[in-house]
Amino acid sequence: MMSSVEKVKILVVGDSGVGKTSLVQLICHNEPTSNPGWTIGCSVEVKLHEYKAGTPAEKTYFLELWDVGGSTSHTNSRSIFYNPVHGVILVHDQTNRKSHQNLRKWLAEVLNKDNMKLLGNGYEFDPEQFAGSQVPILVIGTKLDLAESIREKGVSRSSSIAEECGADEINLDCQQVKSLAPGSTNAVKLSRFFDKVIEKRFNSGREGNWCSDWLRMS
Amino acid sequence: MTRVLFVSTSTGPLFFAFVKNKINLQKWDKMSFLVDSCIMFFSQVLFFGGGWVFFLKQLFRDYEVHHSVVLLVFSVTFSVSCNMFELIIFEILGIMDTSSRYFHWKLGLFAILFVLIVVLPFYIAYFIIGNLRFVPRKKFIQGILTFVAWCVFMYFFWKIGDPFPITSPKHGIFSMEQCIGRVGVIGVTLMALLSGFGAVNYPYTSMFYFIRHVTDSEIQGIEKRLMQTMDMLINKKKRICLAKRESLRQASQNIGGGIWGMLKTVTSGGPSENISLLKQENSALEELSRQLFLEMVDLNNAQERIEYSKTFKGKYFNFLGYFFSIYCVWKIFISTINIIFDRVGRVDPVTRGIEIAVNYLGIQFDVKFWSQQISFLLIGIIIVTSIRGLLITLTRFFYAIASSKSSNIIVLCLAQIMGMYFVSSVLLMRMNMPLEYRSIITEVLGELQFNFYHRWFDVIFLVSALSSIGFLYIAHKQAASSID
């Protein structure tokens, strides 16, 4: 049974301490975590996802969420987890603006995995390079409850990385199960992102979209 | 970039002071005092800016500053500490009047003691209490708790002075000498610990003799093992996932069955047993994957060191490492001699060097002039290297242990360590200066038992160096054996 279900690999990256492990627990098991320790290396969780739920083309896929530890001292060894990658979730902490600025470095690190040893430590994110690789991206901001108490009024930020990449953005609190309740906006965006990842991975060879498949089948 | 800033902040006030000495101002006491105070104020502002920039660009590189009071307090601590070093340099070079120098010494000392004993512990307690979960959010209650915590700190701070021969009976209870004595004890302990560890660690990291030899095939072997472990982990998690879905389906099918349905779910308890066994295997596999990853990080680091050793910079530092390790061995030896024979060096290295040069080597030169220049050079180098060394160590320490919750508390603790370190380095520097320049430090700090501090430094330095040697030896052996 297991070998018949296909899989996609999604990386969850971000600075140390932003809440990636809590987020992955929430997505895969629908339960909040108590204090997780710092992730060493990479921890993987899997989730069964219904691609195109509610349509005749519904199919079950395995989502592998690879939660990569963000300590700076482990930078030289992380690259083995980046190959292959079908989707990227960038996680930042809404109470810490620097973690949002560092997302560019993270994206560059993931996309430049082949040239890692040559570049050394200076990653510069180049939007054109991203456009070429076409990996679907989702940006998630955690610690919404703490952020609201710190920033009373809405602070306009400089251009967000989500706008630059044309990616969706979700802001939530990983300790609240209802953040990803089925039918909520967040859950819809997440589901749409997963569908996009699966589509890019398995339908990239074929021309057009599922409309043509539907027409061919009927 | 910080290096440029640092050089400019240190040369700025010197430049102004030289200009003032060259221009023959009328010896009008009040006027010169005003000018001196302006010089001091200007240099304080420069140091404050230096601390500010260091905080934002280096320490708090990955964090957002929510409470600007942390930034302020850190910069103030840095600026007041550097102020004392500046006064030592002025003492040697004879810049500014003696009386205004004395006044600024006293002022600076009072300022730094106030910051170290009142301001910093108060804010550290405030942020710790703010972080605790069971404390109510009202500012008033937090303020009271902070004050109580500060009183507890003061009690223990005072108690530290009891076992040590810090002060002579003619000092009052709450005098500055008492405070300096205690701050000195803590600071000297810190200095000796850091020096001891640094003296052993620097040769170990910079010399090629200690580099582990790692081949590409070893690294590839570990990578393969790690990825295999991850694959096994993923397969097991998928099985758990599918089993859970199966049991959910079965449960939903059996809802309408009543008693028969309940019997069915009980008898088909197969999948649930598998799940708990799989979960146990998973936690073992996760632990294995963590260990493999850490081993891989070690191997990659060792390979980076090998690459670095082939560069010119690496070879240069390796060469320096040999000299430095000789110096470290000599220092450990001298500390042991000092402790065994209860000896405290009375002659500073500059005077001793000049003595040797004049008496044994027969070189004739203007002793007074050269002693001033050489002391200036020596003390300047000591000051710069100790500031730089401490800032680098603090930065590395901060990156290793800070998280977004604790960043404020940790950086304030580091500011406290920095202040105490600098105060005690002024105390210990006295021995490196010729007699004529020592007098101001003795005068300003009061009659502390300086010999005690040097002896205490030697003891802690020896303990720290020997335990670092033991620690590094064990770590080296363990690392070498884990590869095989």
pLDDT (tens digit, 9 = 90+) per residue, B61-102? 888 888 889 999 999 999 999 988 888 888 888 777 888 888
Measure in Å the smallest separation between the Cα of A51 and chain B Cα atoms: 16
Residue B387 has pLDDT above 80, yes or no: yes
* Contacts of residue B429, Cβ cutoff 8 Å, sequence gap at least 6: B88, B379, B382, B383, B441
Q: Chain B: nearest CA to A212, how far in angstroms?
A: 32
CA dihedral sign of residues B61, B62, B68, B73: negative
Please spell the DSSP secondary structure of B88-154, one letter per residue.
HHHHHHT-S-HHHHHHHHHHHHHHHHHIIIIIHHHHHHHHHHHH-TTS-S-HHHHHHHHHHHHHHHH
Q: Does B294 touch chain A (CB under 8 A)?
A: yes
- Given a cut of 60, whether residue A213 has pLDDT beyond it is no
Contact A95 B64 (CB under 8 A): yes
Question: What is the greatest pairwise CA distance in chain B?
Answer: 112
CATH class of A2-217: alpha beta
Is a pLDDT exceeding 60 seen at residue B27?
Answer: no
Say if CB B371 and CB B354 are below 8 A apart: yes
Residue A187, pLDDT > 70, answer yes
What span, in angstroms and rounded, lies between the C-alpha atoms of B307 and B130?
Answer: 46
Q: Given pLDDT bands bounded at 50, 70 and 90, which one contains residue B46?
A: very high
Q: What one-character DSSP code corresponds to residue A114?
A: G
Cα B380 from chain centroid (whole Å)? 20
Sign of CA dihedral B477, B480, B481, B482: positive
Number of alpha carbons in the 13 Å side-chain half-sphere of residue B118 = 6
pLDDT number for residue A158:
53
What is the C-alpha to C-alpha distance for residues B34 and B17, in angstroms, rounded to an integer? Answer: 13
Alpha-carbon distance A160 to B455, whole Å?
58
B241/A73 CB distance under 8 A: no
Mutation for testing the B interface, residue in A11, A28, A34, A40 having most B CBs under 10 Å: A40
What's the rounded Cα separation, in Å, for the pair B19 and B37?
15
Residue B392, SS3 per DSSP: helix
Asked whether the beta carbons of B414 and B62 are under 8 A apart, the reply is no
Strand partners of residue A38: none
Mean pLDDT of chain B: 80
Which of residues B4 and A214 earns the better pLDDT score? B4
For B313, other C-beta atoms within 10 Å of its C-beta total: 9
Using CA atoms, how far apart are residues A179 and A171, in angstroms rounded to an integer?
Answer: 9
pLDDT bucket at A212, cuts 50 / 70 / 90: very low
| CA separation for the pair B103, A158 (Å, rounded) | 49
Averaged over A43-69, what is the pLDDT? 85
Whether A97 contacts chain B with CB within 8 A: yes
Closest residue in A to B65 (Cα) is A96
Please report, for chain B, how many H helices and E strands are present, in that order. Answer: 16, 0
CB burial of residue A3 (10 Å; 0-12, 13-18, 19+): exposed
| pLDDT computed for residue B326 by the predictor | 82
On the CB side of A87, how many CA atoms lie within 13 Å of its CA?
28
In sequence order, what DSSP letters do the residues of B398-463 get, joined into one string? Answer: HHHH--TTTHHHHHHHHHHHHHHHHHHHHHHHGGGS-HHHHHHHHHHH-S--HHHHHHHHHHHHHH
Judge: A73–B400 Cβ closer than 8 Å, yes or no. yes
User: Cβ-count burial of A82 within 10 angstroms (0-12 exposed, 13-18 middle, 19+ buried)?
Assistant: buried
Is B289 in contact with A41 (Cβ distance < 8 A)? yes
Q: How far is CA B285 from the centre of its chain?
A: 37
Chain B, nearest residue to A143 by Cα:
B404
SS3 track for A127-165: HHHHHHHCCCEEEEEECHHHHHHHCCCCCCCCCCHHHHH
A216–chain B nearest CA distance, Å: 32
B297·A64 Cβ contact <8 A: no
The strand pairing partners of A10, in sequence order, are A65, A87
Contacts of A48 in chain B (CB under 8 A): 241-242, 245
B304: nearest CA partner in chain A = A76
* Chain B CB within 8 Å of residue A77 CB: yes
Give pLDDT, residue B424. Answer: 87
- B-chain CB neighbours of A95 within 8 Å are 64, 66, 404
pLDDT tens digit string along B425-481?
888 887 777 777 777 777 777 767 777 888 888 889 889 988 998 998 888 888 777
Q: How far is A162 from chain B (nearest CA, A)?
A: 20
pLDDT tens-digit profile of B334-344?
Answer: 888 888 887 66
B22 touches chain A (CB under 8 A): no
Task: Please check whether residue B246 touches A, CB under 8 A.
Answer: no
Helices (H), B163-215: 176-206
pLDDT-derived band at A210 (thresholds 50, 70, 90) equals: very low
CB contact under 8 A, A96 and B301: no
Average pLDDT over residues B278-301: 88
Q: Given this model, what pLDDT does residue A148 score?
A: 72
Q: Do B223 and A80 touch (CB under 8 A)?
A: yes
Average pLDDT over residues B25-41: 74
Inter-chain CB proximity A1 and B242 less than 8 Å: yes
Q: Do A98 and B296 touch (CB under 8 A)?
A: no
List the structure tokens of B427. Answer: 């105390």
Long-range contacts of A54-63 (CB under 8 A, 24+ apart): A56/A214, A56/A217, A57/A210, A57/A213, A57/A214, A60/A5, A61/A5, A61/A6, A61/A7, A61/A8, A61/A198, A62/A5, A62/A6, A62/A7, A62/A8, A62/B238, A62/B241, A63/A7, A63/A8, A63/A10, A63/A194, A63/A197
- Give phi and psi for A44, each to the nearest 5: -115, 140
CA–CA distance, B243 with B263 (Å, rounded to integer): 19
pTM: 0.80
Say whether residue A211 is in contact with chain B using an 8 A CB cutoff. no
Scanning B60-119 for CB atoms below 8 A from A yields: 61-64, 66
Per CB-CB distance under 8 Å, the chain B contacts of A15 are 62
A138: left (phi over 0), alpha (psi -120 to 50) or beta: beta
Q: pLDDT, tens digit, for every residue of B145-187?
A: 888 888 998 888 888 877 776 665 555 556 777 788 888 888 8
Interface contact flag, A42 B289, Cβ < 8 Å: yes
**Higher per-residue pLDDT: B94 or B294:** B294
Contact B233 A44 (CB under 8 A): yes
How far is A201 from chain B, CA to nearest CA, in Å? 19
pLDDT band, residue A209 (cuts 50/70/90)? very low
For residue B267, what pLDDT is reported? 60
Quick check: A175 contacting B, CB < 8 Å? no
User: pLDDT-derived band of residue B313, with 50, 70 and 90 as boundaries?
Assistant: confident
A79 touches chain B (CB under 8 A): no
* pLDDT tens, position by position, A139-183: 888 888 877 766 654 554 555 777 777 778 888 887 777 878 888
Taking a C-beta distance cutoff of 8 angstroms, is the pair B395, B59 a contact? yes
> Is beta strand A137-142 parallel, antiparallel or unpaired with respect to A42-51?
unpaired
Shortest Cα distance, chain B CAs vs residue A47, angstroms: 7
User: Rounded CA gap, B455 and B450, in Å?
Assistant: 9
Tell me the backbone φ, ψ of residue A92, rounded to 5 degrees. -135, 160
CB contact under 8 A, A48 and B399: no
* ipTM of predicted complex: 0.82
Query: Residue with structure tokens 């030697």?
Result: B458
Average pLDDT over residues B381-404: 85
**CB nearest B399 (choices: A1, A40, A72):** A72
Name residues 128-167 of chain A within 8 A of B (Cβ).
Answer: 150
Question: For residue range A96-150, what is the model confidence (pLDDT) as tens digits?
Answer: 888 888 888 888 888 876 544 444 445 555 655 555 567 888 888 888 887 776 6
Mean pLDDT score, B369-391 = 82
pLDDT of residue A208: 41
A112 touches chain B (CB under 8 A): no
Residue A92 is given by DSSP the state E
Q: For chain A, report the end-to-end CA distance as a whole number of angstroms.
A: 28
A141, A171 Cβ separation under 8 angstroms:
yes
Q: How far apart are CA B136 and CA B114, in angstroms?
A: 30
Nearest CB to B300; choose among A15, A41, A76: A76
Contact A102 B62 (CB under 8 A): yes
Asked if B235 and A42 come within 8 Å (Cβ–Cβ), the reply is no
